Structure 1
Amino acid sequence: MNIDEVVLNFSPGSMTALNVVIGLIMLGIALDTAPSDFAVVRRAPRAMLLALVAQLVLLPAVTFGLTLALDLQASLALGLILVACCPPGNVSQVLTYRAGGNVALSVSFTAVANVVYIVAMPLSIAFWGGLHPTASAILTEVSLDPLEVLRDVALVIGLPFAVGVGVRARWPRLAARVQRPVRWFSLLALVGFIVAALAGNFSVFVAYIGVVALAVFCHEAVALGVGYGVGRLGGLGPREVKALTFETGIRNAGLGLGLVFAFFGGLGGMAVVAGWWGIWDIIAGLALATAWARWSRSRAGDRSEAAA
């Protein structure tokens, strides 16, 4: 069975539910985003520039090279490219906090990036996917229209984000009360949705989990590494490097999964990649954040003992 020819079963009602969940995720992020968070462009322009370069340029470019190095089938390759072109995931701030990173900067990174990605994401998918020697055929077959993707992305992530920022600015107390429940509910709903989608197509998932797991494992490591490397080479402080690492390494794979069904007809390789990415990046991110926090505390303890 060629995974490039497999189409996963996904009802129109489920597609609507996924869009609602993604919209809630963006609403939850926006309710915790103050207008002042966008001032990071002025307060820390170098950090913001590094974050955008890491996510918009380096991550898709390195992903493109990784798909060639792993010699992946077309739909798997395009799935990785799609995820790399998605905006940062909403758990990046949670992981940054757990690792002891600069949470305020992480929030600002996410706020600015999600606005930029409304326009950048469809253009990036079309550009990098169109360059790929095998995945480009899929884009040709589906006749991907960047403007149509832009319209849908604006409705699914742009509108809820704008509403959330507006509510936060106009009614900050209300936003503070509902922000945490909305974010956690949407996160759990997304994880449950991805698990249900994979379970509903279990035979396809089992048949290709080996190659998909390897590809996603390598891609996640590369994404986190790009963020860490750019932060270190860019001269950011340790806490800022942690924020940039998770901002780059944690992608909104749920949105990617929605795009797979909306524009690529539920193409098997792309859907399994995006679905497994949505699970694995949380697992890998939590593991890294926990280990990083323990390592930082250990180093702080060693310095305290040395000073005594």
Structure 2
Amino acid sequence: MDQSPLIDIGLPIALAIIMVGIGLSLTREDFAVQARSPWATIVGLVGQLVLVPLMGVGVALLFDLTPMLALGVVLVAATPGGATSNLITYLARGNVALSVILTAITSVAVILTLPLWFDLGVRFIPGAADSEVSVPLGQTFGLLLGVILIPVAIGMALRAKAPSLAARIERFVGVVGLVVLVALIVGIVLGERDRIVDLVATVGPAVIVLNIAFIVLGGLLAWVCRLGRAEQIAVAVEFGIKNTTLTMLIAFTVIGDEEVGLAAAVYSIVMYVTSFLVVYGGRRLMRTAP
């Protein structure tokens, strides 16, 4: 498909700004605290990088989706948590420090894991191999290095050198992310306007099941691994709230298929609806905590 300058240039820049915001919320002490007590971080990382994408492949196979929509589901599952997960964790009374650390580490780790999981989806989803789509490791590594790793490092450096300035800038990052997300969803709707209703009706049930399954998996995994209630909330939110801006960036600029990006657009809407329920449940859970 023909890409507009907004997607080719504006989307990577907007995502980089969002990732700077994540860096602005991090300090070296955050990593030191988790390093001294790493069990919750290990549980969250294993779940996010292994179990969540595996569940995504399973959901994609379970529903009768077109190969491109199914690959979109896999791509969503392989994407890390977004900056919004930190805000939702805060509102739900979860462990915000753990949420931020998981977002930062998984955002860097997916530079390698995301192409591998997408390739696995291409191999297992019926008909996907015939479409000749892939996420090239080299191209994806370079793209994610530029829009994730470097911006996060810049944000952390700014936080260390000018904390008051960093605090002011951080307030606007969420607004940028929301505006970009809305613009992307509108763009997808316009690009697929002739069949948008059918596509949403097809992928909607799969995406709803996917989001709920991620949240339940996060909470259950954290409970089984004997994490505290605040940590259970953080892991559940981190699994369920995805960086769908990144998902759509990959779908548009690397894969070049709007149908793949549609799964991320629908997931974005679903995850914000369920996040209200998570916040309500998290607050009730913490009120009854010992």
Residue 219 of structure 2 corresponds to 228
| Structure 1 residue identity aligned to 2:145 | A
Q: Is the 8 A contact 2:119 2:134 kept in 1?
A: no
Match among 72, 75, 78 for residue 82 of structure 1: 75
> Which residue in the other structure is 1:57 paired with?
50
Equivalent residue for 1:4?
none
Cα distance in structure 1, aligned partners of 2:141 and 2:119: 11
Alignment pair present for 1:119 and 2:109:
no
Contact 2:115 2:137 in 1 (8 A): yes
| Corresponding position of 2:147 | 156
Q: 1:170 to 1:126 in 2, by over 3 A?
A: farther
Q: Which residue of 2 aligns with 1:198?
A: 188
| Percentage identity across paired residues of the two chains | 32
Taking the aligned partners of 1:108 and 1:16, their CA distance within structure 2 comes to 28
Offset, 1:93: 1.2
1:99 aligned to 2:92? yes
Q: 1:71 to 1:130 in 2, by over 3 A?
A: same
Which of 246, 249, 266 lines up with 2:257 in the alignment? 266
Residue number among 8, 18, 29 corresponding to 1:25 in the alignment: 18
Aligned ranges for residues 1-308 of structure 1 at < 5 Å? 10-138=3-131, 141-181=132-172, 183-201=173-191, 202-268=193-259, 270-294=260-284, 296-297=286-287, 299=288
What amino acid does structure 2 have at the position aligned with 1:289?
A: V
Query: Could you tell me the TM-score, scaled by structure 2's length?
Result: 0.92
Q: Distance in 2 between matches of 1:56 and 1:163?
A: 24
Aligned Cα root-mean-square deviation (Å): 2.0
The amino acid across from 2:90 in the alignment is Y
Asked if the contact 2:68/2:128 (under 8 Å) is kept, the reply is yes
Tell me how far 1:295 sits from its aligned partner.
5.2
Rg comparison, structure with higher value: 1
Q: Residue 3 of structure 1 aligns with which residue? A: none
Structure 2 unaligned segments of length 5 or more: list them.
none
Distance across 1 between alignment mates of 2:216 and 2:12? 30
Contact 1:37–1:111 (8 Å) recurs in 2: no
User: Normalization by structure 1: what TM-score?
Assistant: 0.87
1:99·1:290 contact (CA, 8 Å) conserved in 2? yes
- CA drift of 1:222 comes to 1.1
Q: CA deviation at 1:40?
A: 4.5
Shift of the alpha carbon at 1:41? Answer: 4.4
Measured after TM superposition, the shift of residue 167 of structure 1 is: 1.1
- Paired residues of 1:142 and 1:263 also in contact (CA < 8 A): no
- For structure 1, the 5+ residue unaligned runs are 1-6, 304-308
Contact 1:23–1:160 (CA under 8 A) maintained in structure 2? yes
Q: Is the contact between residue 21 and residue 189 of structure 1 (CA under 8 Å) also seen in structure 2? A: no
